[in-house]
Amino acid sequence: MLIRKPDALYGTNIPSSEITPKDKWLNRRSLLTGAAAAGALALGADRLADVLSPTRTALAAGKLTTVKSQLSTTGEELTQLQDVTSYNNFYEFGTDKADPGHNAGILPTRPWSVKISGLVKAPKVLDIDSLLKLKPLEERVYRFRCVEGWSMVIPWVGYSLSELIKVCDPLPSAKFVQFTSYFDRKVEKWTSESNIAWPYSEGLRMDEAMNPLTLLTLGLYGDVLPGQNGAPVRVIVPWKYGFKSAKSIVGIKFVDKMPATTWNDLAANEYGFYSNVNPNVDHPRWSQKSERRIGQPFYAQRHPTLMFNGYGDQVASLYNGMDLKKFY
């Protein structure tokens, strides 16, 4: 990661269309897709989906109209679309980084609805089109840091989660928000071989969820989310490790106590509830002091990890008085 003061609130915002012209990567993707399709004729129709899937899900997506966001990280090279859509963690579709890109095409993203429940004035169900129209969609370039030690810089599309929370009308007693991800044993690939208790669950403290940086995410690179990246709706919490950013959300529940979360339940000594990016707290099996930026040349991949992933000016106050080695 670059050693620089993040310009998250002020300064010039550079839209992704200027950093990486979309016609260039679309043309490149089209050429690759065409070549893959030709090769697939020799491989057989049963393998066609696997050959095309990483690019097909991005190219078949719908174009989104976005406005510039002053909450973008600026001055860093974007991770290429091909890397963003082919190197993923989405264990419902396999544990290898390439598995989600090949398998998530079966994720049924239309129709789609999100159930709002728990400590709210009135439970409700919102469909994906309602979420897309709720607020103007912003493009926000965020650093994305995985607990495994790799990172990307991605132009996400969405708006602050706080805008949706206002519509949900939670009660004053609501202290946490719990997210539940889509899961269907008849559809998803990685079930019987995993010891994870599905469906995937994640959560945030209410003040974390209400922070302007927390993004209700509906797209990337100007298009709707591909399946492997958490289609059709997810959250991005840029100062936390990636597993905190729940994918393919079907439920948002407001609760008064810290909710159960998948990785914290599975291995609490490795994955804390807060999971803020912190170079001073190592994972039990590896250091968190540096990270590998996906897509960059080998000699330039290694970057020092920044506290709160570089967003400390905006979020450090949320944790005043907390021992961040204890509340990891």
pLDDT of residue 194: 66
- SS3 readout for 160-218: EHHHHHHHHCECCCCCEEEEEECCCCCCCCCCCCCCCCCCCEEEEEHHHHHCCCCEEEE
Interval 133-154: pLDDT, tens = 999 999 999 999 999 999 999 9
- Residue 222 CB partners (closer than 8 Å, separation 6+): 16, 17, 22, 63, 64, 66, 139, 155, 157
Q: Are 225 and 107 in contact (CB under 8 A)?
A: no
pLDDT of residue 201: 98
Tell me which residues of the chain have a pLDDT lower than 70. Answer: 1-61, 189-194
- SS3 readout for 13-65: CCCHHHHCCHHHHHHHHHHHHHHHHHHHHHHCHHHHHHHHHHHHHHHCCCECC
Give CA–CA dist 122/112, Å, rounded. Answer: 20
H or E segment and range at residue 269: none
Nearest to 264 by CA among 254, 252, 277, 274: 274
Show the CA angle centred on residue 189, arms to residues 186 and 192, nearest 5°.
85
- Residue 122 CB partners (closer than 8 Å, separation 6+): 169
Nearest to 294 by CA among 85, 51, 54, 55: 85
pLDDT of residue 310: 98
Show the CA angle centred on residue 56, arms to residues 55 and 60, nearest 5°.
120
Q: Residue 137's beta-bridge partner residues?
A: 66
- Residue 260 CB partners (closer than 8 Å, separation 6+): 178, 201, 203
pLDDT of residue 190: 59
For the four alpha carbons of 210, 79, 58 and 276, in that order, the dihedral sign comes to: negative
Burial group, residue 261, by CB count within 10 angstroms (0-12, 13-18, 19+): buried
The pTM of this model reads 0.82
- Residue 137 CB partners (closer than 8 Å, separation 6+): 64, 65, 66, 67, 157, 158, 159, 218, 219
Domains of the chain plus CATH, in order, are 16-319 (3.90.420.10)
**Alpha helices (H) along 44-169:** 48-59, 81-84, 99-103, 128-134, 161-168
Q: Are 57 and 85 in contact (CB under 8 A)?
A: yes
pLDDT of residue 74: 84
Nearest 5°: phi and psi at 21? Answer: -55, 130
Distances (CA, A) of 158 to 39, 61, 128, 135, 235: 36, 15, 12, 9, 9
Give CA–CA dist 205/165, Å, rounded. Answer: 13
Show the CA angle centred on residue 18, arms to residues 9 and 3, nearest 5°.
50
Nearest 5°: phi and psi at 321? Answer: 85, -5
pLDDT of residue 185: 80
What is the longest distance spanned by two Cα atoms in the chain? Answer: 62
Interval 2-13: pLDDT, tens = 333 333 322 334
Q: Are 217 and 234 in contact (CB under 8 A)?
A: yes
Nearest to 21 by CA among 155, 143, 157: 155
Average pLDDT, the chain: 84
